[in-house]
Amino acid sequence: MREFEFIEWIRRQGEFDPEVVAVGPGDDCAVLNVGGEKLLLTTDQVLDGVHFSLVEHGPEAAGRKSAVRALSDIAAMAGVPVAMVATVAAPKGFSQADAEAIYLGLRVCGDEFACPLVGGDLAAWGESPGPLQISVTILGKCDGIEPVLRSGAQVGDAICVTGKLGGAWATRRHLEFSPRIADARTLARRFAVSAMIDISDGLAGDLGHVVDASSVAAELDTITIPIHDDAAGRKDPLEAALFDGEDYELLFTLPETEADELIENQPLEAKITRIGGIVAGSGMTLLRDGKREKLEPRGWEHET
Amino acid sequence: MREFEFIEWIRRQGEFDPEVVAVGPGDDCAVLNVGGEKLLLTTDQVLDGVHFSLVEHGPEAAGRKSAVRALSDIAAMAGVPVAMVATVAAPKGFSQADAEAIYLGLRVCGDEFACPLVGGDLAAWGESPGPLQISVTILGKCDGIEPVLRSGAQVGDAICVTGKLGGAWATRRHLEFSPRIADARTLARRFAVSAMIDISDGLAGDLGHVVDASSVAAELDTITIPIHDDAAGRKDPLEAALFDGEDYELLFTLPETEADELIENQPLEAKITRIGGIVAGSGMTLLRDGKREKLEPRGWEHET
């Protein structure tokens, strides 16, 4: 079972009332119309042994990661978080101190991003051999900025990213990143950003989502891709930047003229780099040493 | 670690902005003020081996139960569901067909209660020995009816329940119940319901939450407690009705005069029974064979 195939299958089932559901499954958040307000709703989870190691990283880091992953989805829509709820499935022998540490991990994010933890459920696996699992759902709002979808990339747009990519798992960066909420708001308020996503599955995987949703193609120039120091020791640092994932940087598209201004002025907290452009067609191409290669949209994907 | 102790601990941490968070952790849903609208947010989870058995009940029943548990929390506030999101942590070897069955279980509820599944995340435990776990979060709205909290019970109120209690685990009722959303709306619209909760932990446990939150005491008359046929074969059917839980019926309080009218007219789909009254003090008392016993608020509680 592949996660992306399953999401595609769900999307094909969908018949939503457009009065309520402005954007359904398949973007970083759902967009809902409630009482004249556009709201964002997103849920994400972390699993011990998959997204973190309880033994190595501890419960507080796990709690924090579960919250910032979901906050990064709110950032990817240029939204503002309102509140979060969480469920914790706790392994046998989990202590009150462990539960409190998870709560504190969530709470630190709540304080930092004005997103209080307003409810939750704690259950124990009991005799089942279940590891720690945390789900976080965040309600967000748009507050005067139209949500930026994956589907709006236009032929002729530049492709940009914030920060540097690759090797997040070599350090604690996959746990300790800061979701780009303020930067995303600045971008969407001041520039004609046409599409946006956060890089969780990897640059190739997430750009693949954008070009698929937008029915366009992308060309990336390998020279320009910003490679993180965390990937410097790798045999192929570019490969790390393209496929590792868990960077939680913003990947976005906007008209070339606006990209020029953005790159020159660098108005965000994070450094912005232009890495390529949107062209007609489908799929992705990598320009390397003057040659063109096909770039597969593979990335970090769950599979059972 | 005990779930209720942990929730109490979280509540003690809480300092919420009352402009945003009208009701924080500790009720069936959080109540949030967003753009002039009162919204409800609740999350719940089901664990294989704890809340269902994947082998015995199958993935579709697990999916359905995860959704109706959260819908029952919306009912307990007299709210209207708007949309749901879900995470699924899938065991090794989980197939696309299994994932689709979970989705269909969620979808059936979505169709029945106008609560579409608008997003989610599917992750696989991979090499970790993780069983199936499903979290569901529901966004609800109040639509002109003030949310009914646990904390409003008044001395002199009658205590009523919908339906019959006990033995839900002896049959598939814990999987196949229907959340009392329409009945809760009727109750709150037409009667001065002062407090409400859904019976998930058991009558004693959930009435315990109401009296604690309302700073009152309760007296129950054992003769009047409606015992479900599912508990008829038990050595002590009353014990089953008091402590089994997973009935997902409504437990509510309202002035005696209104209770008279309610019992006489029976305006709900579910039968309403008056089982006792709210008195001054704290804790709960059971009247049995003319004698008074202390009723402990124990119920079905997670503990590691």
Interface test with B, best of A53, A55, A118, A136 (most B CBs within 10 A): A118
**Domain co-membership, A231 together with A255:** yes
**Domain co-membership, B172 together with B101:** no
Judge whether B90 lies within some domain. Answer: yes
Nearest CB to B41 within list A45, A94, A119:
A119
**What chain A residue is nearest to B49 in terms of C-alpha separation?**
A128
Determine whether the interchain pair A119/B24 forms a contact, defined as Cβ–Cβ distance below 8 Å. Answer: yes
**Domain co-membership, A167 together with A286:** yes
Structural domain that includes position B196:
150-295
Judge whether B300 lies within some domain. Answer: no
Residues B189-245 have pLDDT tens digits of 999 999 999 999 999 999 999 999 999 999 999 999 999 999 988 999 999 999 999
| Total count of domains within chain B | 2
Query: Residue B291: exposed, middle, or buried by beta-carbon count in 10 A (0-12, 13-18, 19+)?
Result: exposed
**Domain co-membership, B7 together with B129:** yes
**Domain co-membership, B228 together with B265:** yes
Nearest CB to A10 within list B30, B39, B103:
B103
Nearest CB to A130 within list B47, B93, B121:
B47
**Domain co-membership, B207 together with B257:** yes
Residue of A15, A54, A22 whose CA lies nearest to A38 = A22
pLDDT band at B300 (very low <50, low <70, confident <90, very high): low
State the ipTM, two decimals: 0.94
| DSSP per-residue string spanning chain B | -BHHHHHHHHHHH----TTTEEE-BTBSSEEEEETTEEEEEEEEEEEBTTTB-HHHHHHHHHHHHHHHHHHHHHHHTT-EEEEEEEEEEEPTT--HHHHHHHHHHHHHHHHHTT--EEEEEEEE-TTS-PPPEEEEEEEEE-TTSPPPPGGG--TTEEEEEES-BS-GGGSSHHHH----HHHHHHHHHHS---EEEE-SS-HHHHHHHHHHHHT-EEEEEGGG--B-GGGTTSS-HHHHHHH------EEEEEEHHHHHHHHHH--SSS-EEEEEEEESSSEEEEEETTEEEEE----S--B-
Please say which residue of A141, A165, A190 terminates a domain.
A141
Judge whether B269 lies within some domain. Answer: yes
Please say which residue of B117, B141, B165 terminates a domain.
B141
Nearest CB to B47 within list A25, A96, A125:
A125
Q: Rounded to whole angstroms, how far apart are CA atoms A72 and B135?
A: 19
Contacts of B14 in chain A (CB under 8 A): 116
Work out the minimum CA distance from B18 to partner chain A, whole angstroms. 11
Contacts of A127 in chain B (CB under 8 A): 49
Contacts of A35 in chain B (CB under 8 A): 35-37, 141
Determine whether the interchain pair A41/B118 forms a contact, defined as Cβ–Cβ distance below 8 Å. Answer: yes
Judge whether A302 lies within some domain. Answer: no
Q: Which two tokens stand for residue A276?
A: 């390529």
Backbone angles phi, psi at A176, to 5 degrees: -110, 10
Nearest CB to B48 within list A35, A128, A302:
A128
Judge whether B302 lies within some domain. Answer: no
In DSSP terms, B39 is beta-bridged to B32, B141
Work out the minimum CA distance from B136 to partner chain A, whole angstroms. 9
**What chain A residue is nearest to B39 in terms of C-alpha separation?**
A34
**Domain co-membership, A119 together with A165:** no
Please say which residue of A114, A141, A168 terminates a domain.
A141
Determine whether the interchain pair B130/A127 forms a contact, defined as Cβ–Cβ distance below 8 Å. Answer: no
Q: State the CATH number of the domain containing residue A80.
A: 3.30.1330.10
CB within 8 Å of B170: residues ≥ 6 apart = B230, B231, B233, B234
Contacts of A66 in chain B (CB under 8 A): none
DSSP label of A127: T
How many angstroms separate the Cα of B117 from the Cα of each of A93, B83, B139?
A: 34, 6, 11
**Domain co-membership, B154 together with B290:** yes
Residue of A176, A196, A200 whose CA lies nearest to A187 = A196
Determine whether the interchain pair A45/B91 forms a contact, defined as Cβ–Cβ distance below 8 Å. Answer: no
Task: Give the up-direction half-sphere exposure of residue B161: CA atoms within 13 A in the CB hemisphere.
Answer: 26
Contacts of A116 in chain B (CB under 8 A): 14, 16-17, 20-21, 24
SS3 A2: strand
pLDDT band at B12 (very low <50, low <70, confident <90, very high): confident
A vs B: CB pairs below 8 A: 270
Each residue's pLDDT tens digit in chain A (304 positions)?
566 666 677 777 768 999 999 999 999 999 999 988 999 999 999 999 999 999 999 999 999 999 999 999 999 999 999 999 999 999 988 998 999 999 999 988 888 999 999 999 999 998 778 999 999 999 999 999 999 999 999 999 999 999 999 999 999 999 999 999 999 999 999 999 999 999 999 999 999 999 999 999 999 999 999 999 999 889 999 999 999 999 999 999 999 999 999 999 999 999 999 999 999 999 999 999 999 999 999 765 443 3
Work out the minimum CA distance from A123 to partner chain B, whole angstroms. 6
**Domain co-membership, A158 together with A72:** no
Determine whether the interchain pair A47/B3 forms a contact, defined as Cβ–Cβ distance below 8 Å. Answer: no
Contacts of B43 in chain A (CB under 8 A): 85-87, 119-121, 135, 137
Work out the minimum CA distance from B61 to partner chain A, whole angstroms. 18
> Average model confidence (pLDDT) for chain B?
93
**Domain co-membership, B11 together with B113:** yes
pTM of this prediction exceeds 0.90? yes
Determine whether the interchain pair B24/A87 forms a contact, defined as Cβ–Cβ distance below 8 Å. Answer: no
Contacts of A7 in chain B (CB under 8 A): 122
Determine whether the interchain pair A9/B96 forms a contact, defined as Cβ–Cβ distance below 8 Å. Answer: yes
Nearest CB to B87 within list A1, A45, A82:
A45
**Domain co-membership, B169 together with B271:** yes
Please determine, for residue B277, whether its predicted confidence score (pLDDT) is greater than 90: yes
Q: State the CATH number of the domain containing residue B248.
A: 3.90.650.10
Judge whether B304 lies within some domain. Answer: no
CB B259 within 8 A of CB B160: yes
Judge whether B303 lies within some domain. Answer: no
CB B34 within 8 A of CB A141: yes
**Domain co-membership, B17 together with B104:** yes
